[in-house]
Amino acid sequence: MLNSITKMFKQLLEGNDLGQQHKADPNLAIACLLCEVAGADHQVDPQEALAKQQLVGRLLNLDASQTEALLSRAETQAKQAASLYEFTSQLRELSQETRYDLIKAMWEVAHADGEIDPLEDAVIRKTAELLYVDHSEFIRAKLSVTEKK
């Protein structure tokens, strides 16, 4: 986070327009959110990494090479991000159904290793709040993932 603040100050000193730095890229934002939940507990289990890759491909209808390239960019972006808002603000135009699918995918990544860490839960909960996903839908997504395994 300190690196992103330092970078922002350098850009301000150079006269760059910070408002143009983060152009909307919903696919990248979705991939970043999946990266955020996978790394929330500071360890990415191989099962979580595989789930993340499969879900990005399925949600965004991408082939394997496109998925890998997008995830590579997303991991870099997620490390530099100051908050989840950087990603959720780009997803406000999504339908409620698509928002639900994203929250469900986040639960799938979190639960891929067989347990949901409280930090993973917190990231998903905050994302759901920022995307205006009803709490009942948040719980429905969680239960649909945790009860099938």
Taking only the tens place, the pLDDT of each residue in 42-65 is 888 888 889 999 999 998 998 989
Calpha distance 3→146 (Å, rounded): 36
Q: What is the pLDDT of residue 3?
A: 60
pLDDT at 72 over 50: yes
Q: What is the pLDDT of residue 16?
A: 52
Q: 12-29: per-residue pLDDT in tens?
A: 666 554 444 456 789 999
Domains of the chain: 25-146 (1.10.3680.10)
- Mean pLDDT of all residues belonging to the chain: 86
Cβ contacts of 39 within 8 Å, gap of 6 or more:
78
What length does the chain have?
A: 149
Of 51 and 149, more confident: 51
Q: 100-145: per-residue pLDDT in tens?
A: 999 999 999 999 988 899 999 999 999 999 999 999 999 999 999 9
* Number of C-beta neighbours around residue 42 at 10 A: 7
- Residue 26 exposed, middle or buried by CB count within 10 Å (0-12, 13-18, 19+): middle
